[in-house]
Structure 1
Amino acid sequence: MIRRNDVLSAEKRIRSYVRRTPLLRGGSASAPLWFKCEFLQHTGVFKARGAFNRQLAALERGELDPDVGIVAASGGNAGLANAYAAAALGVPATVFVPENAPRVKVERLLAYRATVRQVGAEYIEAYGAAMEYVGRSGALFCHAYDQPEIAAGAGTIAEEILQDEPGIDTIVVAVGGGGLYAGLAAAAAGRARIVAVEPFTIPTLHAALEAGRPVDVAVSGIAADSLGARRVGEIAFSMASQDPPTSVLVPDEAIIAARAQLWSEYRIPAEYGAATAFAALTAGAYVAQDDERVAVIICGANTDPRTLGSTA
């Protein structure tokens, strides 16, 4: 479990290292909508917030050896964020990614001077290899989503949303392993509801809520590179058990269409995982009330720009 105080501590710790991203008005006059533009964050993804919070807190406690550095396992985005943070803090980074990680993400990891190791077909295999490396090297492990400092860092997004627009009723977010959801739930508790959106093909939180515990799900579909955790994290499940979100599922076709719409109407270069939250609204999986004020987090832009207008 994490609390809002954890998020507020993270906000203070990372303030000078991350961007305060804009909250932009979208929708229509009769149906206002706000986009939290986290695709403009360092590394093109919200995960920079948790990465800096984890590494800075570890440095404060003397848990991060600057000569040994950090290690992360990731479908791509968490690795990018942790590699960027490590470079900014002057420590080495080793990142394990699946063999099918998007080329654009691998190239950016190398640009951040990370050592990249590609292992297996899914995140869980990269994770296992990373944990073996941690045992051998003593490097600081930075989880992609299931560590308190990672989740609390992500939760600073909700603080910014509700500072900029205190009247927001609902925050819509895509869920993979659940770190972002957990941070938002902690920050927004008692102030705004959370709509947790997942692809039908990777329903980690939805399946956990139905089963009453985190369970493994099959990983497939258009958003698997960024939302492809096999099961939801313990922190996210604890938060959801205490105060269940509105949990909705969307098909790949809706995600593809939502991504194309974000580009054609707003010139927002979202990756498929980031467009999943918007797809809940465009496909009708979540229907806002007439007077409901909704913010959608567009959480990442690490995608091939040549495909932005594609609906196939």
Structure 2
Amino acid sequence: MTLTRLDVQAAEARTRDYVRRTPTFRASPTLSVKLEFLQRTGTFKARGAFNRQLAARERGELDAGIGIVVASGGNAGIAHAYAASVLGVPSTVFVPETAPAVKVALLRTLGATVVQAGSEYVEAYAAATVFAAERGALFCHAYDQPEIAAGAGVLATELLEDDPGIDTIVVAVGGAGLLAGVLAAVDGRAHVVAVEPEAAPTLHAALAAGAPVDVPVGGVAADSLGARRVGQIGFDLAQPAHARGSLSSVLVADSDIVAARSALWRDYRIPSEHGAATAAAALASDAYSPRPGERVAVVICGANTDAGTF
């Protein structure tokens, strides 16, 4: 399915009463920062979670007694559990046995039934799909569903409304759900820079190969940017955008991510998680160097992190 600006507009109307319109901060005459870490549940993921569940309810696909199921190592599960609690339906979240105890505890606080399956996300994902098929629960993907991506893209619509002079939007990429939404929302009105850790180059590798491919992942941002393969929706939008020059794909080192995260806290008191700081690292490290006078916006998309590590 091709994601379009109309899908993002529909998501904006559908989720308006459930998510926060996060502010845009002007850090300098040529740099704006989208403070998406102020979103409900601490990340942009709440936007897609509400859009997916609300759209399914409109179509009669969301059984109020069975609810939703999602596989996640963290942020997506938290977002879907929160959305389900607001909408009054049960949620089941499959996580790897290695999932951090603090995130498992938060999921349970949100009312989710947590099932630990396997040592990696891919095993939890497989178990979640079986559960959805057997129980009739609404399956919610962490990033590779049209409604998930469209919901995420609303933040780019807000950004361009708040700061219409923006030339370039810089976003971190894991499975590319956020990137897909941003590309659809922007629809050629701004250049997009997709930033990945060198230790998890799923989009970069896919663009080089001409198709999504599995890559080994690791590094400091693996808890949120640890998808082994870029999502098909994100790739289908990214490949033509990259070919026509409206998308740049860059990589940053772990050391640059750590430095950018520290700088965000030191200079702006922004408590970014490593995955979100990956976008800022592209500018701080010159992996992406703006032209003189180029108006750039960087999306800080999440803050589910240990404040004691700053």
TM range (shorter): over 0.9
Instruction: Please tell me the residue identity of whatever aligns with 2:294.
Output: E
Deviation at 1:121, TM superposition (A): 2.9
Tell me how far apart the structure 2 counterparts of residues 264 and 102 of structure 1 sit (CA, whole Å). 26
The match for 2:26 is 25
Deviation at 1:116, TM superposition (A): 1.1
Tell me how far apart the structure 1 counterparts of residues 39 and 142 of structure 2 sit (CA, whole Å). 17
The match for 2:235 is 237
Indicate which of 257, 260, 266 corresponds to 1:258: 260
**Does structure 1 residue 100 correspond to structure 2 residue 98?**
yes
Contact 1:169 1:292 in 2 (8 A): yes
**Stretch deviating more after TM superposition (264-273 or 120-129):** 120-129
Deviation at 1:306, TM superposition (A): 0.7
Tell me how far apart the structure 1 counterparts of residues 273 and 4 of structure 2 sit (CA, whole Å). 29
Tell me how far apart the structure 2 counterparts of residues 58 and 246 of structure 1 sit (CA, whole Å). 34
The match for 2:192 is 194
Secondary structure, aligned partner of 1:280:
helix
Indicate which of 74, 78, 81 corresponds to 1:80: 78
Tell me how far apart the structure 2 counterparts of residues 167 and 178 of structure 1 sit (CA, whole Å). 25
Contact 1:97 1:117 in 2 (8 A): yes
Deviation at 1:86, TM superposition (A): 0.2
Deviation at 1:118, TM superposition (A): 2.0
Tell me how far apart the structure 1 counterparts of residues 131 and 308 of structure 2 sit (CA, whole Å). 36
Contact 1:171 1:297 in 2 (8 A): yes
The match for 2:46 is 48
Secondary structure, aligned partner of 2:224:
helix
TM-score, normalization by structure 2: 0.97
Q: Which aligned runs of 4 or more in structure 1 are off by greater than 6 angstroms? A: none
**Does structure 1 residue 246 correspond to structure 2 residue 244?**
no
**Does structure 1 residue 268 correspond to structure 2 residue 233?**
no
Tell me how far apart the structure 1 counterparts of residues 237 and 208 of structure 2 sit (CA, whole Å). 15
Deviation at 1:110, TM superposition (A): 1.3
Per-residue displacement from partner, 1:69-113 (whole Å, max 9, x unpaired)? 000011200001100000000000011122222333222211111
Tell me how far apart the structure 2 counterparts of residues 253 and 45 of structure 1 sit (CA, whole Å). 23
Contact 1:75 1:228 in 2 (8 A): no
Secondary structure, aligned partner of 1:117:
strand
Tell me how far apart the structure 1 counterparts of residues 265 and 97 of structure 2 sit (CA, whole Å). 28
The match for 2:303 is 301
Tell me how far apart the structure 2 counterparts of residues 102 and 198 of structure 1 sit (CA, whole Å). 23
Contact 1:123 1:228 in 2 (8 A): no
The match for 1:291 is 293
Secondary structure, aligned partner of 2:111:
coil
Indicate which of 166, 180, 183 corresponds to 1:182: 180
The match for 2:5 is 4
Aligned residues: 305
Identity %: 66
Instruction: Please tell me the residue identity of whatever aligns with 1:16.
Output: D
Deviation at 1:120, TM superposition (A): 2.5
Tell me how far apart the structure 2 counterparts of residues 181 and 131 of structure 1 sit (CA, whole Å). 24
Tell me how far apart the structure 1 counterparts of residues 51 and 19 of structure 2 sit (CA, whole Å). 10
Per-residue displacement from partner, 1:22-68 (whole Å, max 9, x unpaired)? 00011x45xx3111111100000001000000000000000010100
Secondary structure, aligned partner of 1:71:
strand
Contact 1:104 1:303 in 2 (8 A): no
Contact 1:74 1:96 in 2 (8 A): yes
Instruction: Please tell me the residue identity of whatever aligns with 1:10.
Output: A
Tell me how far apart the structure 2 counterparts of residues 61 and 132 of structure 1 sit (CA, whole Å). 22
Tell me how far apart the structure 1 counterparts of residues 221 and 65 of structure 2 sit (CA, whole Å). 35
Tell me how far apart the structure 1 counterparts of residues 202 and 233 of structure 2 sit (CA, whole Å). 13
Tell me how far apart the structure 2 counterparts of residues 268 and 283 of structure 1 sit (CA, whole Å). 18
TM-score, normalization by structure 1: 0.96
Provide the aligned C-alpha RMSD in A.
0.9
Instruction: Please tell me the residue identity of whatever aligns with 2:3.
Output: I
Tell me how far apart the structure 2 counterparts of residues 190 and 106 of structure 1 sit (CA, whole Å). 40
Secondary structure, aligned partner of 2:70:
strand
Tell me how far apart the structure 2 counterparts of residues 99 and 283 of structure 1 sit (CA, whole Å). 35
Deviation at 1:129, TM superposition (A): 1.2
The match for 1:208 is 206
Secondary structure, aligned partner of 1:224:
coil
The 5 Å alignment of 1:17-166 reads 17-26=18-27, 28-29=28-29, 32-166=30-164
Secondary structure, aligned partner of 2:164:
coil
Instruction: Please tell me the residue identity of whatever aligns with 1:137.
Output: R
Tell me how far apart the structure 2 counterparts of residues 126 and 295 of structure 1 sit (CA, whole Å). 35
Tell me how far apart the structure 1 counterparts of residues 289 and 22 of structure 2 sit (CA, whole Å). 26
